[in-house]
Amino acid sequence: MRKYIGSIIVLIGFVGKCFSQDATLPVPVAKTDSIKKAEKTEDSLLRIRNLNPYFTLHVDSTLIYKLEINKDPSQYFWFLKNSPFGLKINKDNGLLTFKAEKSYFLSGKLKYDNPYKVSIGVQNLNDPNQRVDTSFTIVFFTTDIIQSHLKPTVSNTLFIEEGDSISFKLECEAGNFPIEEINFFSNIPIKNYTNVKRCDDDFSWSPPYDFVKDTDSSKQKLLILSFVGTNKFFIHDTAVVRIYVKDALNYPVMLREYNKTVKDLSTYILRLKYAFVQLDKKVKKTKNARTSFDLTTASTALSGTVLSSETSTGAQNAGKILPSAGLTLVPVKETVAPQQTAEQNSASLVRSAIKRLQYTTQENSLTGDKDADIVKKMSTLKTEMRQTQIQLIDVPIDENSNMSEEQLNAYFDNPKVNKKYRLRNK
């Protein structure tokens, strides 16, 4: 223990002696050899010293930029890839030059606010391994703002009818900043339309037949379509198309109703033909019976005349009786087979009604794919059918026919029947 204490005392004394004599501490000496060796080390990696990764260039301005490398430039050459129109580089000294003329942008060769990524490279002429490939971005801008506009391919005011269809393309007149999105609005909610979201999209719509209401003035309704285009800076441009929709006929529904009317009329005509057949047969049967009575009466009278000329008394007496017997057949004929005047008149009336309805149906047939007078023709058919029903209200019409349509038409168009009811000039 005493040994350690003594050593500490000796050390303290030595330090005090040093400070008391103004001694200075030794200064470490720098190794100058290593620094000089580092300075003499050459930069072996090829690199571009002053490459700017981003260029912004105004229209009608000029770009002159000298690229530098850490090697002897006479041993290297420069090249560009994917360069925009007009950008050049000197292959010997790396001088970038560009003249941003406005004609490049008006012709569409260049675009405003569009980042062009350009690949640039430098390579040793003798050693292909000494090469650098990198890139930079160049953007062109202008202070002359040309706004993009929406332009429909139709006029601003259109007139259509219900049931028709309308279709047009929405084009865009490109400016400095093109329209990126289009929104659609209308003053009246509509359905079944093709939405437009981008330029050159087609808008199509067909107004339904109940689009125009009875309360709308002039039987038409105004539809206002607003197309709002927006660019990336949220600058808007609006195109407005006014569509006047006129009230129109629902042709498919009217066509079904017309066909139903024609079918009902055809069925009614067949029922009238069956009624005509029944009346005509009754008149024909009565006529045959009366003819038989008339022939019997005539034969009896003739027989009496012949017998009265005989020499025998019995034959003469029979000849006197037979004419009286013939006369007695006349009231029997009127009782058994009376004149069917009402039935014959009814048959003639029914036949004329059938002819009139057939002629009316033929005259009011539809012409073309979409007859504009379909309502008028249908109304005429209904009116004619109603009048015929009122006129023949007392004529019995049996709905349960035991004859087919072909049989009824064959009987009605029989030449003998036509001859019977044909009018004759006296």
Give the pLDDT mean for 244-265: 88
Q: What's the rounded mean pLDDT across residues 268-273?
A: 86
Residue 223 phi/psi, 5-degree rounding, is -115, 125
Q: How confident is the model at residue 372 (pLDDT cuts 50, 70, 90)?
A: confident
| pLDDT of 412 | 77
Query: Does the structure show a pLDDT above 90 at 36?
Result: no
Classify residue 363 as exposed, middle or buried by CB count within 10 Å of its CB (0-12, 13-18, 19+). Answer: exposed
The residue among 281, 274, 290, 405 whose CA lies nearest residue 339 is 290
Looking at per-residue pLDDT, the higher value among 419 and 71 belongs to 71
∠ at Cα 81 (110, 91), nearest 5°?
110
Higher pLDDT, 295 or 89: 89
**Beta partners for 173?**
149
Give the mean model confidence (pLDDT) for residues 372-388. 88
Q: Measured between alpha carbons, how far is 59 from 390 in angstroms, rounded to an integer?
A: 90
Q: How confident is the model at residue 24 (pLDDT cuts 50, 70, 90)?
A: very low
Confidence class for position 154, pLDDT limits 50, 70, 90: very high
Whole-angstrom distance, CA of residue 175 vs CA of residue 55 = 22
Whether pLDDT at 286 is above 70: no
> Of 138, 112, 151, 339, which is closest to residue 241 (Cα–Cα)?
151
Predicted confidence at residue 242, as pLDDT, reads 95
With both helix axes pointing from N to C terminus, report the angle between 251-308 and 374-391 in degrees, rounded to the nearest 10. 30
Q: How far is CA 233 from CA 185, 229, 280, in A?
A: 21, 11, 91
Using an 8 Å Cβ cutoff, are 158 and 241 in contact? yes
The first and second tokens of residue 352, run together, are 């004329």
Give the CATH number of domain 252-420: 1.20.1270
Instruction: Give the model confidence (pLDDT) of 227-238 as tens digits.
Output: 999 988 888 899
- The arithmetic mean of pLDDT across residues 12-40, rounded, is 45
For residue range 77-91, list pLDDT tens digits in order. Answer: 899 998 898 899 998
Residue 49 has pLDDT above 90, yes or no: no
* pTM of the predicted model as reported, rounded to 2 decimal places: 0.46
Measured distance CA(262)–CA(283) in Å, rounded: 31
Amino acid identity, position 45: L
Strand order in the sheet with 76-81: 54-58, 131-141, 116-124, 76-81
* Residue 122 confidence (pLDDT): 92
Q: In this predicted structure, what is the pLDDT of residue 140?
A: 87
Q: Which of 121, 123, 138, 143 is CA-nearest to residue 85?
A: 138
Local confidence band at 336 (pLDDT 50, 70, 90 cut-offs):
very low
Q: Reduce the DSSP state of residue 203 to 3 states and report it.
A: strand
At 209, list the tokens.
């037949």
- Residues 279 and 342: their CA atoms lie apart, in Å, by 10
Indicate the range of 152-166, 219-233, 347-361 predicted with least confidence: 347-361
The pLDDT of residue 302: 53
Strands 166-173 and 62-66: unpaired
Model confidence at 320, pLDDT cuts 50, 70, 90, reads low
**CATH code that applies to domain 149-248:** 2.60.40.10
Q: What is the mean pLDDT of residues 373-377?
A: 87
pLDDT higher than 70, residue 117 = yes
**Torsion angle in degrees (nearest 10) through CA of 77, 82, 84, 89:** 0
User: Rounded to 5 degrees, what angle do the CA atoms 29, 34, 40 make?
Assistant: 140
Residue 117 near residue 135, CB atoms below 8 Å: yes
Read off the pLDDT of each residue in 11-25 and give the average, rounded to a whole number.
Answer: 43
**Residue 179 pLDDT more than 80?**
yes
| CA 91 to centroid of chain Cα atoms | 59
Please state, in angstroms and rounded to a whole number, the distance separating the CA atoms of residues 19 and 350: 156
- Read off the pLDDT of each residue in 347-367 and give the average, rounded to a whole number: 87
Strands (E), 46-196: 54-58, 62-66, 76-81, 88-89, 95-99, 116-124, 131-141, 149-152, 157-161, 166-173, 181-186
For the record, the structure tokens of 221 come out as 């309704």
Long-range contacts of 414-417 (CB under 8 A, 24+ apart): 417/280
For domain 54-141, the CATH class is: mainly beta
Q: What are the extents of the domains in the chain?
A: 54-141, 149-248, 252-420
Confidence of residue 20 (pLDDT cuts 50, 70, 90): very low
Range of weakest confidence among 191-205, 292-306, 389-403: 292-306
Chain centre to alpha carbon of residue 322: 93
On the question of pLDDT at 130 being above 70, the answer is: yes
Rg (alpha carbons) of the chain, rounded to whole number:
58
Count of residues making up the chain: 426
The pLDDT score that the predictor gives to residue 170 is: 92
What's the whole-number mean pLDDT along residues 370-394?
86
d(CA 61, CA 98): 8
Per-residue pLDDT at 167 exceeds 90: yes
* Residue 358: strand, helix, or coil: helix
The burial class, CB within 10 Å (0-12 / 13-18 / 19+), for 227 is buried
Instruction: Answer yes or no: same fold for 54-141 and 252-420.
Output: no
Between 425 and 115, where is the model more confident?
115
